[in-house]
């Protein structure tokens, strides 16, 4: 499942985050890489413990909490604190799969990476290349979104960031553990929820079939969820 979350951050939110992180000290991106990723990764990153990263990350988490689309698609149980990266001058991240479990440095907090998310923080016309390329069951998808928009996709998918040949690509990236481990089950619940919401708009929330289908949704969630 690949879901675009439009307008996660407004222009003021993007500007605030960029003011924070642009003034911070960036380091080699391999500080958080696994063995496979380290062979393919060339970028800069903010340290997990940087106060600017934590403040900007909390802004993104607050925005996700206000997004019904994100909640419906991800059904999040635990979210790894947002990280921030930058690509320029031909930097890229070759094809890889994200680590199955992410552990926050210096803590016991760990997340099974069911879903990955990228929040774009630079307008696409200001840099060349830098597409997030995701290999899905329906072929290769390339994503390059306006600043403030995000894309959610399975962490199990092969993906890469194409070389940035001009300008600078800045984004936030992180992982989450869903209440629904299985991607196909999560997709079915998302499709069902989307249909219920549309039926509710057409018929009203007190319509008997809307109520019945809402019950089916919650009974499936009750059966499948780890919470």
Structure tokens at 62: 């607050």
- 29 and 73 in a single domain? The answer is yes
What is the pLDDT at residue 105?
A: 84
- 189 and 207 in a single domain? The answer is yes
Among residues 116, 36, 42, 123, which one has the least CA distance to residue 83? 116
Phi and psi at 182, nearest 5°, equal -80, 125
- 207 and 116 in a single domain? The answer is no
- 164 and 202 in a single domain? The answer is no
Among residues 63, 61, 91, which one has the least CA distance to residue 78? 61
- 134 and 216 in a single domain? The answer is no
- The residues, ordered by sequence, that sit 6+ positions from 179 with a Cβ below 8 Å of its Cβ are 75, 76, 77, 221, 225, 226, 227
Instruction: Report the domain count for the chain.
Output: 2
Per-residue pLDDT band at 38 (split at 50, 70, 90):
low
Phi and psi at 20, nearest 5°, equal -70, -55
pLDDT greater than 90 at residue 227:
no
List the binding residues for 2-oxoglutarate.
Answer: 169
What is the pLDDT at residue 202?
A: 97
Reported as a single tens digit per residue, the pLDDT across 137-185 is 889 999 999 999 999 999 999 999 999 999 999 999 999 999 999 999 9
- In the chain, the N- to C-terminal Cα span, in Å, equals 21
Cβ atoms of 121 and 144 within 8 Å: the answer is no
- 164 and 55 in a single domain? The answer is yes
Cβ atoms of 67 and 8 within 8 Å: the answer is yes
List the binding residues for Fe cation.
Answer: 96, 98, 159
What is the pLDDT averaged over residues 68-85? 97
CATH number of residue 127's parent domain: 2.60.120.620
Task: Give the span between the Cα atoms of 218 and 201, in whole angstroms.
Answer: 19
Q: Which domain holds residue 214?
A: 183-224
What is the distance of C-alpha 72 from the center of its chain? 14
Among residues 147, 40, 137, which one has the least CA distance to residue 93? 40
Cβ atoms of 80 and 118 within 8 Å: the answer is no
pLDDT greater than 70 at residue 34:
no
Among residues 55, 5, 40, which one has the least CA distance to residue 158? 40
pLDDT greater than 80 at residue 36:
no
- 141 and 36 in a single domain? The answer is yes
What is the pLDDT averaged over residues 189-193? 98
CATH number of residue 210's parent domain: 4.10.860
Among residues 129, 193, 217, 171, which one has the least CA distance to residue 1? 193
Q: How far is residue 138 from each of residues 50, 134, 142, 151, measured CA to CA in Å?
A: 39, 10, 12, 17
What is the pLDDT at residue 21?
A: 98
- 187 and 174 in a single domain? The answer is no
- 198 and 138 in a single domain? The answer is no
- 167 and 212 in a single domain? The answer is no
List the binding residues.
Answer: 96, 98, 159, 169
- 99 and 206 in a single domain? The answer is no
- 157 and 220 in a single domain? The answer is no
Phi and psi at 27, nearest 5°, equal -130, 175
């Amino acid at each position: 499942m690949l879901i675009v979350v439009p307008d996660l951050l407004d222009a003021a939110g993007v500007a605030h985050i960029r003011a924070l992180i642009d003034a911070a000290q960036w380091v080699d991106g391999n500080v958080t890489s696994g063995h496979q990723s380290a062979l393919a990764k060339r970028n800069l990153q903010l340290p997990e413990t940087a106060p600017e990263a934590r403040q900007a990350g909390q802004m993104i988490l607050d925005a996700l909490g206000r997004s019904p689309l994100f909640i419906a698609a991800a059904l999040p149980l635990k979210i790894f604190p947002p990280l921030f990266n930058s690509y320029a001058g031909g930097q890229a991240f070759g094809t890889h799969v994200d680590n199955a479990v992410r552990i926050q440095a210096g803590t016991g907090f760990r997340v099974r990476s069911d879903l990955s998310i990228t929040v774009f923080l630079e307008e696409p016309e200001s840099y060349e290349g830098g597409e997030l390329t995701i290999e899905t069951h329906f072929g290769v998808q390339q994503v390059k979104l306006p600043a403030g928009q995000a894309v959610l996709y399975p962490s199990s998918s092969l993906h890469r960031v194409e070389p940035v040949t001009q300008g600078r690509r800045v984004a936030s990236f992180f992982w989450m553990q869903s209440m629904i481990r299985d991607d196909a089950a999560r997709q079915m619940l998302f499709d069902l929820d989307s249909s219920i919401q549309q039926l509710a708009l057409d018929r009203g929330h007190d319509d008997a079939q809307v109520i019945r289908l809402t019950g089916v949704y919650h009974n499936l969630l009750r059966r499948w969820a780890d919470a």
